[in-house]
Structure 1
Amino acid sequence: MSEAVSSPLVPPVSDAVLMTLAGIAYGAPGSIATYLAQDTLTADDWRVVWLAAPPDPPDNFAFIAYSERTKTYAIAIRGTYPNPFSPAYWDDGDEDSPFGDMVEWPAARGAKISAGTSKGLTNLLALTDQAGVTLQDAVGRLPAGSRLAVTGHSLGGTLAPVLALSIVQRSPALDVYVSSFAGMTPGNTAFAALFGSGSPLEGRVRRVYNTLDTVAYGWNAVWATHDFYQPAPKGGPLVAAMLLATAARLELGGYHYAPIGTPVALTGKVQPIVIGCELVAYVIENLHQHMPDTYLSLLGAPPLPFSIVLASVVMPRANPVAATQPLSARPPVVHLA
C-alpha cells in the first residue's frame, strides 16, 4: 500500500477533525448537532447546515456541517449501519461486497465501480432533509468557490471519493478535497485514474488507514492481511482459507480493484489477548482495529461523545454502561459469495 500522488493538497481541516465528523455520522441523526457541540474538536466551531432525514434506519446517511473558523463545509458519510438485527445492516453489507457486475462510470471509458458502491452513491445523492432538499441539491446550492471536504469511515470511506468525484463533475466551481478513513477500494484501475494526473481531484484525496485494519486492505490487498497481529492472535486455517478464496475470486474475476489517493498510514498496535479462544480473539482484534475510536486514538484525538454498545445501541459516554463497552462500527466481512 505504497502508492503516491504528486503534489498532495495540505487540507485546511485536520484528519483528526474529519475523522471525528465521520465518526459522529454513526450517531443518532437527531443528536448530530448535540454531538458536534459536545466533542472538543468540533465544539464552538462546527454546525449542521444540512441533515438527512430518511426513514429510520437509513441504508445510507450523511450530514453537511460548516466550520466558521476554517470557512469549510464538510460532508460526513456514515459507514455500515451498526445493528446486525436491522435490514439496513445487511443492505449496507451488500454495498460493501466487491463481487457481482461492476457499473460503468459515466463518460469514462473502462472506468467501473462495484454495484454496491454505485447503489450507495445513488442513495446518498437522493437523501433529503426535512424540507425535501436532496444532498445533491444542497451541494449544488453552495456558493461558487466554497471549500468542501468529503469524509467518511468504513463504507463511508469507500463512498467518500466516489461522491467527491460526482460533485466535482456536477459543480466544478467548488474547491473539493477528500479524507477517507478505513475505506475499501470502490472501483477498478481505470476508475482510480480519474483521480490522477490532470484530474480535478489530483492530489486532493487522502486515504487514511490503520496498518492493522484488515478492512482497509479490501479489495486490492486482501491476502496481505493473513499474517496480521504478530505474534497473536491468529485466525487459523479457517480465516486463511477464507482470505485465500476471496483473493483468488477477485483475481480470477478480473475486477482489478485499485486504491485511490495519497496513502496515509497510521501504525496500529495489537491489543493484549483477553480471551482464550484464538479465533474469537482474532475477530475481536479485527473489530478493535477498525473502530472509529481506534482511528481517533491513532490520530491523537479524543474518543467520540457516544459509544455503540454491543454493535447496535448508541448511548452517551456519560452512561455507566457505555463506559465499559467497546465502540463497534461494524464487524469485518469476508465475502465468499
Structure 2
Amino acid sequence: MTEYQQTFLLSMLSNQAPELVNQPFPENLDLIQQDAEQLMESQFLASIPERLTAMGGFATLEWGPAIFIDPSDIQEDTKTKTYNATATNTMAVFSTGSTGVYTIAIAGTKATSIFDEKTEDAKVGVLVDWAYGVPVEQPVLKPRISTGTNDGLGVLLSLPDPKTGVNLATYLSTLASGTVITITGHSLGGGLAPALSLALFGAASNISPSLLKQGLLPQVYATAGPDIGNKDYVTYLSGTFKATTPPPANKYEQYNCKIWNSLDVVPHAWSPAFLSQIKSIYKSYGMDTPGYVGGVIDAVSADIKAHNYDPLPYNPYYSLDDALNGQFPGKFQPLDSFPSDSFINYNCNNNCNANVDVCNFVTEMLFQHIDAYFNELQIPFQAPANKMDACAITQKLDPL
C-alpha cells in the first residue's frame, strides 16, 4: 500500500465516529453536550484498534479522537428522556510505523449533521479576515475565508485530546525535529485541512510560533474539498505549501495540491470558475441537474454577491486548482448497473418519498464524492454495514 493510499484511508477513518441513538439524558441536562462528546469519543476510541487492524495495521493512534458536537446535532426526546447525536467535527492523529509520518486526519461532512450542511459547508456568503497571521513581507495580502470554514477551524484548534486534555498545537510541540506531518481530510475535511495547515505552519502563524522553529515538515493531502477562500488566501497557502511540479501521471500521488474528481460536485464549489459547471455536470451522460439543485446554486451565488462588493457584487472565491493539476477524470456510474458494494444505498424508487430526479442526482453525486476516490486510488473496499441512504439524504437535503 502506498503512502497516499494509507493517508486517504486514515482520512476516511476519521469519519467513522458512531452515531448515538436513544441515549438516556444525563442527570444534569445542561451537560448533555459534554455527555454526548465524551460518550462518542469513548465508543470511537474503543473501535479504532480493530479498524486499524482491518486496514492492514500500518498506523497507530497517537492523539484523539477528539470530537465536537454542536447543540444542533443533538436531538432530545423529552417524552422518553433520551437523545440522539452525531459528530459535528472529528480529528485524530496517527503515526505510521514504516515511514515515521504523523497524520492529522480531519473528518468531512456527515450526512446526518445539520451543522455541517447549514454552517460549515453552506455558510459561504460572508467571508471573514484570516485570523492567524499574515507574513510581514507581504503586507498587501488580505486573506479571507468563508465564515463556515473559520468556525470549523476555530473548533479544530480548540479540541482537547480526551485523555490528556492538550490541544493539537500543544501535542505537535512534543514531536521531534524532522518529523513529517501530513494534514489530510476529505470533503469538508478537504477544505479544513489546508486551512488548519496554514493556521499552524504558515510563516506568520500566531497559534504557536515555536512550532515554526521546531523543524517539523508539514504537508497537505486534501481530497474532494470545496474552495473556501479568496485569491490572497490561495496565494498565501500555495506559497507556504508548494505543489509538485510538474504534476505526476497519477494525479492523486502528490501533496499540497487539491485532489479532486472531475465529476464530483463538492470541489466545484465555491469559486466562480467551476461553480456554474454543476448545473450541467452530468448532462453529457443523459442526467440533468435538477432545477432544485440549480436553484440552490443560484441562491448561494446571490448570497455571496450580496455580501461582497468591489465595488460591484462579485464572487471572491478562488480555486485552489484552477490549472486542474490535481483533477482526475471521473467515470460516470450508470444507475441501472449501480454496484451492490457501493457506500451508497441506491433506493430512489416509488417507495421513496422524494423527487426521483433529485434522488437519482444525489445518488450519482454521492458515488462520485466517495466511491470514485477509492476506485481512483485503487483501494479495494467492502460494502459497509451502514450504507448512506440516498432516499433519506435526498429527503433531508430537499428542505435546505
TM-score range, shorter chain: 0.7 to 0.9
TM-score (norm 2): 0.67
- Structure 2: any 5+ residue segments left out of the alignment? 18-43, 70-85, 135-140, 244-254, 309-313, 337-347, 350-355
What one-letter code is carried by the residue in structure 2 that aligns with 1:117? T
What SS class does the counterpart of residue 104 from structure 2 fall into? strand
- Structure 1: any 5+ residue segments left out of the alignment? 1-11, 84-88, 312-325
Q: Give a deviation string over 1:268-317, Cα, whole Å, max 9, x none.
A: 222223457333211211121112x3311121112278454345xxxxxx
Answering whether residue 113 of structure 2 is matched by residue 97 of structure 1, we say no
Which residue of the partner structure matches residue 86 of structure 1?
none
What SS class does the counterpart of residue 378 from structure 2 fall into? coil
Answering whether residue 169 of structure 2 is matched by residue 127 of structure 1, we say no
Whether the 8 Å contact between 1:184 and 1:217 is mirrored in structure 2 is yes
116-125 or 13-22, larger mean C-alpha shift = 13-22
Which residue of the partner structure matches residue 318 of structure 1?
none
Whether the 8 Å contact between 1:46 and 1:65 is mirrored in structure 2 is yes
Whether the 8 Å contact between 2:94 and 2:103 is mirrored in structure 1 is yes
What is the alpha-carbon distance in structure 2 between the residues aligned to residue 66 and residue 18 of structure 1?
10
What is the alpha-carbon distance in structure 1 between the residues aligned to residue 297 and residue 195 of structure 2?
26
Q: Kindly tell me: are residues 334 and 200 of structure 1, through their superposed partners in 2, closer, same or farther at Cα, counting changes over 3 Å?
A: farther
Answering whether residue 270 of structure 2 is matched by residue 244 of structure 1, we say no
What SS class does the counterpart of residue 379 from structure 2 fall into? coil
Q: Kindly tell me: are residues 120 and 218 of structure 1, through their superposed partners in 2, closer, same or farther at Cα, counting changes over 3 Å?
A: same
What is the alpha-carbon distance in structure 1 between the residues aligned to residue 197 and residue 393 of structure 2?
23
Aligned mate of 1:231, from 278, 281, 285: 285
Whether the 8 Å contact between 1:210 and 1:266 is mirrored in structure 2 is yes
Whether the 8 Å contact between 1:181 and 1:207 is mirrored in structure 2 is yes
Aligned mate of 1:46, from 59, 63, 72: 59
Answering whether residue 349 of structure 2 is matched by residue 270 of structure 1, we say no
26-35 or 252-261, larger mean C-alpha shift = 252-261
What one-letter code is carried by the residue in structure 2 that aligns with 1:81? K
Paired-residue identity, %? 26
Aligned mate of 2:107, from 78, 81, 90: 78
Instruction: Specify which structure has the bigger relative contact order, considering alpha-carbon pairs within 8 angstroms and separated by 6 or more residues.
Output: 1
What is the alpha-carbon distance in structure 1 between the residues aligned to residue 217 and residue 287 of structure 2?
44
Which residue of the partner structure matches residue 206 of structure 1?
257
What is the alpha-carbon distance in structure 1 between the residues aligned to residue 291 and residue 223 of structure 2?
29
Instruction: Give the greater-gyration-radius structure (CA).
Output: 2
Aligned mate of 1:217, from 265, 268, 281: 268
What is the alpha-carbon distance in structure 2 between the residues aligned to residue 143 and residue 305 of structure 1?
39
Whether the 8 Å contact between 1:158 and 1:185 is mirrored in structure 2 is yes
Q: Kindly tell me: are residues 35 and 23 of structure 1, through their superposed partners in 2, closer, same or farther at Cα, counting changes over 3 Å?
A: same
Q: Give a deviation string over 1:118-170, Cα, whole Å, max 9, x none.
A: 11111111111222121221122221221000100111111000111112134
44-53 or 187-196, larger mean C-alpha shift = 44-53
Answering whether residue 102 of structure 2 is matched by residue 69 of structure 1, we say no
Q: How far 1:206 sits from its partner (Å)?
A: 2.0
Q: How far 1:334 sits from its partner (Å)?
A: 9.6
What one-letter code is carried by the residue in structure 2 that aligns with 1:107? G
* 1:103-182 to 2 correspondences below 5 Å: 103-105=128-130, 106-108=132-134, 109-129=141-161, 130-168=163-201, 169=205, 170=208, 171-172=211-212, 173-182=215-224
What is the alpha-carbon distance in structure 1 between the residues aligned to residue 236 and residue 397 of structure 2?
28
TM-score (norm 1): 0.79
Aligned length: 299
Q: Give a deviation string over 1:163-211, Cα, whole Å, max 9, x none.
A: 1111213422210110111101121111111023xx3322251211111
Which residue of the partner structure matches residue 29 of structure 2?
none
Answering whether residue 208 of structure 2 is matched by residue 184 of structure 1, we say no
Q: How far 1:75 sits from its partner (Å)?
A: 0.4
Which residue of the partner structure matches residue 320 of structure 2?
260
Answering whether residue 59 of structure 2 is matched by residue 27 of structure 1, we say no
What one-letter code is carried by the residue in structure 1 that aligns with 2:12? G
Q: Kindly tell me: are residues 181 and 333 of structure 1, through their superposed partners in 2, closer, same or farther at Cα, counting changes over 3 Å?
A: farther
Which residue of the partner structure matches residue 281 of structure 1?
360
